[in-house]
Structure 1
Amino acid sequence: MKHYIAASNPMRPQFNPQAGYAARHFAWHFDAGVGTITLDRPERKNPLTFQSYAELRDFFGALRQATDVKAVVLTGAGGNFCSGGDVHEIIGPLTRMSMPELLEFTRMTGELIKALRACPQPVLGAIDGICAGAGAMLALACDLRYGSAATQTAFLFTRVGLAGADMGACALLPRMIGQGRASELLFTGRAMTAQEGLAWGFFNQLYDSAELLARVQATARQLAEGPGFAHGMTKTMLGQEWSMGLEQAIEAEAQAQAICMQTEDFRRAYTAFAARQKPVFQGD
C-alpha cells in the first residue's frame, strides 16, 4: 500500500508560500502571513482519501520551514468542514488489506495529526457544517477552533465498528472537554452540537456561517502580526507540558522564556513601548 501513503506531490522543505503551492487534494491561499488550507470536495462534504491524508501530512511538515507563514487557517468548502475518510475510497479498500497494510495506514493518519501539532504556526479551524470522523480529529488538533450554529462534530468511529481511539482521540479529546464528556462522545459516536462544543471549551467562539471564514482569517492575521518565534514557543510548550509535573513545567518555561528574551522581537517590543508606539514584530 506504499503507493497510497507516499506523498502524492512531494514538496521541497523550503517552499515559497507567496509563489503558491499547487496542491492536488486541497486548496492553498496565502496572504499577508496567513495561509488558508481548504478541503475542497464540497460535493462529498470534503472527505479524505489516502492521497489527501499523505499530502496534508507532508504539507504541515513542510510548514516547519516556511518562515513566511505566520498563521494557518484550516477550513472546508461548500458549507461543511470534513466528513471523514471517504467511504468508497478508504473504508472499502481497508476491508481488503492485510494487517501490515492496515497498520501502515493508521500510523500515517496519526502522522498527519503529529505534523499539524508540530508545525510552529498557530492553526485555526474554521469549522462549519459536518465535522466527522477524521475531520473531527483535524478540528481537534487545531490550536483554536471556531464554529457556527450549524456545526455538528462527531467522533463516529464506533458507528463503523472501530474503537473511539483513533488518531489520538483518547489523548486529545479528554484534555479538551473532560474525561466524562469525551467518553460519551467516543463510545456513542453521537454528534456534539455547536452549543455543547462552545460550552465545553471545544470551540473558542461561534459565528454565523456567512462570516465564519472571514472572522477566523481576521483572527489569524492578528496572530500573524505578533511575535512569530514566541508563538511557536508557546505552541511547543503547550504540547510538551502535558507530560510534565509542575516543577518540570516551571523550569521548562523559564528556559523557554529566556530563549525568547534573546530575540529581536523582544527588543523591538521594549523599544516601541519606550517610544509609545505599537511594536512591529518580524518573527526573529
Structure 2
Amino acid sequence: MSLKDFAARHVRLTVEGKTASILLDRPERKNPLTFESYAELVAIFRAAVQDDTVGAFVVSGSGGNFCSGGDVHEIIGPLLDRDTKGLMQFTAMTGELVKAMRACPQPILSAVDGIAAGAGAIIAMASDLRIATPRAKVAFLFNRVGLAGCDMGACAMLPRIIGQGRASELLYTGRSMSAQEGLEWGFFSRTVEPEALMQAAEDLARGITEGPGFANAMTKRMLAMEWAMSIEQAIEAEAVAQALCMTTADFRRAYEAFAAKRRPVFEGN
C-alpha cells in the first residue's frame, strides 16, 4: 500500500514528495495516545515497508507539545480492569509500535517540542534522529505511576543513546531530561527555536530523501543488527551490506555524476 492511500483517522498522515509526516493532533490533552492511535501508528510503519516512494518520516505533535503518553482516561483507567492476560496483550501491543518503527526501512525523525512523556518519550527514543526546541522535556516517567522503567524497549535502547548511568537515572527517578541535557548527552542532534522546528525537521528529512534510499535503509538495518554483534561480526556483515549497495543503480549514478563533475540525483534503486 502507498502511504498516500493510507486513510489515517487517529493521527494526521501527510506525504509531500518523499517525506511522510505524522502529526499527533490532540493538543488539548498534549497529544496523548489511545488504543486506536497506537494501532494506527503500527499500521503506518508496517505499511511503509512496502512503500519505496517514501524516504523518511517526520513525527511531531501539535499545540506546543510532542506527546504526553498513553491517555489517562482512555488507556490507563481501563487497564485497571484487565486481568493478567489482558495486560499482557496491551504491553505487547505497545511494544509492537517500537518494533514497527525499527523494522520500518525509512529513517524516522522526531521533532520534539514541549512535553514528550511516557510513550511519547519512547517514540522519540525509537526514532533514528531527534530535533528539539529549548522548552522540550523528555520524561520516562513509568516509575512515577508505579511501573518499571523497562517499558517498550527503554532499558535496551536508552542506554545505547545516552549511556547506562544517565539512562539509569532517568528510568529510576522518572524525572524530565531537559533539552540542554538531551543535546549534551546525544539524545538530540540539535535544538532550534519553536518557530523553526518543523522547517528544520523537514529540511533534514528532505536531505535524507535526496540520498540513496536503498543505502539509507541498509544503514538503518545495520545500525540495529550490529547492537548484538562483535566488532569482527559487524565488519563481516558490513562487507556484505556494502557489496549489495554496490549493485544498485544509485551507486553507478554517483560514479557517473562524479566523473561528470555534477551532483548525483539518486532514485532509490
Q: What is the TM-score when the length of structure 1 is the normalising length?
A: 0.94
SS at match of 1:170: helix
Report the Cα offset of residue 33 of structure 1.
0.5
Find the aligned partners of 1:188 and 1:16 in 2 and give their Cα distance: 39
Aligned counterpart, 1:70: 55
Q: Does 1:184 align with 2:169?
A: yes
Q: Does 1:136 align with 2:121?
A: yes
Find the aligned partners of 2:3 and 2:79 in 1 and give their Cα distance: 36
Find the aligned partners of 1:28 and 1:107 in 2 and give their Cα distance: 24
Aligned counterpart, 2:206: 221
Q: Does 1:160 align with 2:148?
A: no
Q: Does 1:207 align with 2:192?
A: yes
Report the Cα offset of residue 16 of structure 1.
4.7
Find the aligned partners of 2:15 and 2:9 in 1 and give their Cα distance: 16
**From 228, 231, 234, the counterpart of 2:216:** 231
Q: CA RMSD in A?
A: 0.7
Amino acid at match of 1:202: F
Contact kept, 8 Å, 2:3 with 2:15, in 1: the verdict is: no
Find the aligned partners of 1:53 and 1:36 in 2 and give their Cα distance: 16
**From 68, 74, 84, the counterpart of 1:99:** 84
Find the aligned partners of 1:53 and 1:30 in 2 and give their Cα distance: 20
Aligned counterpart, 1:15: 2
Report the Cα offset of residue 134 of structure 1.
0.3
Find the aligned partners of 2:260 and 2:205 in 1 and give their Cα distance: 27
SS at match of 2:116: strand
Report the Cα offset of residue 15 of structure 1.
2.4
**From 21, 28, 33, the counterpart of 1:36:** 21
Find the aligned partners of 1:75 and 1:213 in 2 and give their Cα distance: 8
Q: Does 1:125 align with 2:110?
A: yes
Identity of counterpart residues, as a percentage?
A: 61
Q: Please, which runs of 5 or more residues in structure 1 have no aligned partner?
A: 1-13
Find the aligned partners of 1:166 and 1:16 in 2 and give their Cα distance: 28
**From 15, 24, 49, the counterpart of 2:34:** 49
SS at match of 1:54: helix
Aligned counterpart, 1:3: none
Report the Cα offset of residue 149 of structure 1.
0.5
Amino acid at match of 1:67: D
Amino acid at match of 2:118: G
Q: Deviations over 1:124-167 (max 9, x none)?
A: 01000000000000000000000011100000000100000000
Report the Cα offset of residue 234 of structure 1.
0.1
SS at match of 2:49: helix
Find the aligned partners of 1:42 and 1:26 in 2 and give their Cα distance: 12
Q: What is the TM-score when the length of structure 2 is the normalising length?
A: 0.99
Aligned counterpart, 1:7: none
Report the Cα offset of residue 22 of structure 1.
2.4
Amino acid at match of 2:100: A
Report the Cα offset of residue 29 of structure 1.
1.3
| Inter-CA distance 181–16: structure 2 relative to 1 (3 Å threshold) | closer
Contact kept, 8 Å, 2:182 with 2:188, in 1: the verdict is: yes
Runs of 4+ more than 2 Å apart: none
SS at match of 2:130: strand
**From 219, 226, 235, the counterpart of 1:250:** 235
Find the aligned partners of 1:62 and 1:46 in 2 and give their Cα distance: 23
SS at match of 1:30: strand
Question: How many residues matched?
Answer: 269
Q: Does 1:261 align with 2:264?
A: no
Find the aligned partners of 1:110 and 1:22 in 2 and give their Cα distance: 23
Report the Cα offset of residue 21 of structure 1.
3.1
Report the Cα offset of residue 197 of structure 1.
0.3
SS at match of 1:73: strand
Amino acid at match of 1:15: S
